[in-house]
Amino acid sequence: MAHITTSVEYGLHSLFWMIGSEATPLSIRELAELQVLSPTFLAKIFPKLEKAGIVRASEGVRGGYVLARSPEEITFLEVVDAIEGKKPLFDCQNIRSRCPLYGHKAPAWVMKGVCEVHAVMLGAEQAMRDALQNQSLADALRVFERRNPPPEFTAAVQKWMGDKIEARTRKPARRNLMPGSKRKSGRSS
Amino acid sequence: MAHITTSVEYGLHSLFWMIGSEATPLSIRELAELQVLSPTFLAKIFPKLEKAGIVRASEGVRGGYVLARSPEEITFLEVVDAIEGKKPLFDCQNIRSRCPLYGHKAPAWVMKGVCEVHAVMLGAEQAMRDALQNQSLADALRVFERRNPPPEFTAAVQKWMGDKIEARTRKPARRNLMPGSKRKSGRSS
């Protein structure tokens, strides 16, 4: 498994679809449908993005997720950390402490500060994190826009989203006709 | 498991012990003993380092491994790549190709060039690789030397290595007394 997993890929692509759709909050099911992904898988990612303050959930039939901040303010690093946790690139086992010539315990001069191998790995990790920190969703969107997506595609996406919200708004009315039925949150329906 | 695994840590620390020991090639067993590591584990790492031209094996009872190049010429990146293979930081699933609105196939404008998410990940990976490329074994050794290892420690290491070579040189003579015995390579004995 790669260090930055498919969960991050799914999360980032979902966030891209959400840019500019504040008026039409998308449910997990809709985001999954739009990308032909497993809704169960996405349902594990979004609570993490919400906890990190990257998305915001609204309840009710018109509810769903929206970006909690502007795309300029959401960095790739934040999304990676929110989904993966801060997992290290290298997990130092401190093997410098082991040598029969040290006797029963490694001397202080050996153990002082960070191990030389670990220090290089920490430098490499920081370089990777800086690169992810320097890129926002808005930066990636600008690159996407250089593809010149045809206006009919943008219109089709807006219509698709509008139709979904419309269908969601109608559904609960039918459900309420059944005695004992409960109104579901828009987040997962 | 971290992206850069314990195998790399074991490999790098072994290489450090080999700096300056061209006259006393160390066997897998000796390198393992010196660091209280599993010889079986190290025996999987060294053929990879040899294939990458980082270490060189010499046969015979005085044989073992030595660095194939000067420590200035061996970078951390080379060691990581030799042991891990060039595994990517992020394994793009190209989910940009999936959207029911594209019809049965994603249009050319969507698939042109590298995906925006993948491009950022490749940039982060390159930053990490550059940092590893910019550090050699000699650089890390210079940091180690700032610890001022006591001269008696350096002497003890040299004596330990000398004693091991000495013991190896004596052993086959005894083995040869047994009829049908075969002389083993120094590499694994």
Q: In this predicted structure, what is the pLDDT of residue A125?
A: 98
The C-alpha of A115 sits at a distance from chain B's nearest C-alpha, in angstroms, of 8
The answer, yes or no, to whether residue B50 has pLDDT greater than 50, is yes
* Residue B35 domain flag: yes
8 Å CB contact between A93 and B9: yes
User: Can you tell me the mean pLDDT for B21-48?
Assistant: 93
Per-residue pLDDT band for A172 (boundaries 50, 70, 90) equals low
CATH number for the domain spanning A136: value is: 1.10.10.10
Q: What is the mean pLDDT of residues A129-155?
A: 95
pLDDT (average), residues A20-32: 90
Any residues with CB less than 8 A from the CB of A57 and at least 6 apart, and which? A46, A50, A63, A64, A65, A187
- Residue A143 maps to a domain: yes
Q: Which amino acid is at A165?
A: I
Residue A141 falls inside a structural domain: yes
Q: Which of B12, B96, B101 sits opposite A156 (nearest CB)?
A: B101
Residue A189 has pLDDT above 50, yes or no: no
- Nearest chain A residue to B142, by CA: A116
pLDDT at residue A104, rounded to an integer: 84
Instruction: Report the pLDDT value the prediction gives residue B178, as an integer from 0 to 100.
Output: 47
Exposure of A19 in the CB half-sphere (CA atoms within 13 A): 20
User: Contact A36/B124, CB-based, under 8 Å?
Assistant: no
Q: Across A20-29, A88-97, A126-135, B54-63, which has the greatest mean pLDDT? A: A126-135
Q: Quote the domain boundaries for residue A106.
A: 6-151
Please compute the mean of the pLDDT values over residues A66-93 and round it to a whole number. 96
- Interchain contact, B92 vs A37, CB within 8 Å: no
Q: What is the mean predicted confidence (pLDDT) over B139-168?
A: 91
A88, pLDDT greater than 80: yes
Contact with chain A for residue B84, Cβ under 8 A: no
| pTM to 2 decimal places | 0.87
φ/ψ of B31, rounded to 5, equals -60, -35
Task: State yes or no: pLDDT of B53 exceeds 60.
Answer: yes
Report, as an integer, the average pLDDT of A104-120: 93
* Residue B121 belongs to a domain: no
Q: What integer pLDDT is reported at residue A129 of this predicted model?
A: 98
B103 falls within a domain? no
Q: How many CA atoms lie within 13 A of B12 on its CB side?
A: 35
At B34 the pLDDT is: 93
The three-class DSSP label of residue A142 is helix
Residue B107 domain flag = no
- Condensed to tens digits (0 to 9), the pLDDT of residues B69-105 reads 999 999 999 999 999 998 999 999 999 998 889 888 9
Give residue B177's pLDDT.
Answer: 47
Question: Which pLDDT score, from 0 to 100, does residue A63 have?
Answer: 81
A89 to B2: CB separation less than 8 angstroms, yes or no:
yes
Pairing of strands A55-58, A64-67: antiparallel
Tell me, yes or no, if B138 comes closer than 8 A to chain A by beta carbon.
no
| pLDDT at B184 (0 to 100) | 43
Residue range B171-184, pLDDT digits in tens: 655 544 444 444 44
Q: Do A87 and B2 touch (CB under 8 A)?
A: yes
Would residue A75 count as lying in a domain?
yes
Give the number of domains in chain B: 1
**What pLDDT is attached to residue B54?**
98
Angle at A30 between CA A24 and CA A33, to 5 degrees: 140
Contact between B132 and B78 (Cβ < 8 Å): no
**pLDDT tens readout for residues B112-129:** 999 999 999 999 999 999
Give me the mean pLDDT over the B101-111 stretch: 90
Tell whether A182 is covered by a domain.
no
Confidence band of A22 (pLDDT split at 50, 70, 90)? confident
Summarize the confidence of residues A17-46 as an average pLDDT.
93
Highest mean pLDDT among A12-21, A86-95, B127-136, B139-148: B127-136
The yes-or-no verdict on residue B185 having pLDDT over 80 is no
